[in-house]
Amino acid sequence: MPPELSFYDNQFSSLYIHEDKLFLMSESRLEDAAEPKLYSVTLQALEHKMRDTSFPLPYQKYHIYNLDLLRKKMADKGDDYEGLEAMVIEGDDVYLTVETATPSVNCYLLKGHLNYTDVVMDPEIMMPMKKPVDAKGAHIYNAGFEALGFLDNKLYSFFEYNSFPQENYVKMIPTESFARGGEYHPVFMDRIPYRVTDITATGPNEFTAINYFYKGGGKDAIYRVPAKESSADRLIKDSTGTYHSYCRLVDISFNGSIFTWKTLWELPEEYWGYNWEGLAAYKDGYFIINDKYTPATPYVSTLLYLSKDE
């Protein structure tokens, strides 16, 4: 990608295809004085780039307005904004999820309007989404609603962590409810290991999701699975029992009452160390992007196209 797009501190956290453009959402970490923004690249230009890697990829930037006002409203409610995590664009409507600091009770779903040159968030729409907690009532470290999908005029918001021993849920939000301030309903989801970091619609009742595991310990160890779950544990350890990062795509299906999943495709090992955060289905494959973290420095954001035929 061009230097402005590959710059690691964009920290891209979601992809979405809308009107023949691929939109890339920056995490927009206002607390680090980052500019709130989206970028777009036409699919035609991306096709050209895939045929000719020397082609200088054109792009457009969209400033996001009013996010600072919404951040202050969150702080007034005791919730600490930490960045944007997921995006859906339908018509001229833009929906964004906000992750908050671990102690915060709520994450948020926002709604705005996409113009030709910018995005204007509605400062009156800020729907709180209460974080699920573990059996002891504690929040999961550094986890938010990382994935957002759209099916049949409803938004589906997926929490990053879906391995609670109790029930796991997806939040279903009818878009017409925003006229009433927004409301959500819980939908059961089968327990799934590791992280869910982005999703993309692939059918009438189907999504593909990034299912990512980061090898780190400390508080990140919450994403490790018990050894008794041998199939999931085996995928994230080497022959010596040492943890390594891992990434796959999973198919998530909805039958009207519950989401179920199955493994779709495992990324090549050379890409396991990238922190993949954005996914968009296109033709017979997927665009996928990392935030900033790569196996080695200097960090850089990388956009790949994964073809099902290869």
Residue 309 maps to a domain: no
Rounded CA-CA distance 214/286 in Å is 21
Domain of residue 231: give its range. 3-296
Q: Is the pLDDT of residue 310 over 70?
A: no
pLDDT recorded at residue 181 = 72
CATH number at residue 132: 2.115.10
CA-nearest of 270, 273, 267 to 295 is 273
Q: How many domains does the chain have?
A: 1
Q: Decide if 304 is inside a domain.
A: no
Q: Does residue 302 lie in a domain region?
A: no
Give the pLDDT confidence of 107-140 residue by residue, as tens digits: 999 999 999 999 999 999 999 999 999 989 999 9
Q: Residues in the chain, how many?
A: 310
Using a 10 angstrom Cβ sphere, with 0-12 exposed, 13-18 middle and 19 or more buried, the burial of residue 64 is: buried
Q: Is 301 part of a structural domain of the chain?
A: no
- pTM across the whole model: 0.95
308 lies in a domain?
no
pLDDT at res. 165: 87
> How do 195-203 and 118-130 pair as beta strands?
unpaired
**pLDDT, tens digit, 9 for 90 and up, residues 239-271:** 999 999 999 999 999 998 899 999 999 999 999
307 domain-assigned: no
Answer whether residue 59 shows pLDDT above 70: yes
Q: How do residues 140-194 score in pLDDT, each as one tens digit?
A: 999 999 999 999 899 999 999 999 988 999 999 999 888 777 788 999 999 999 9
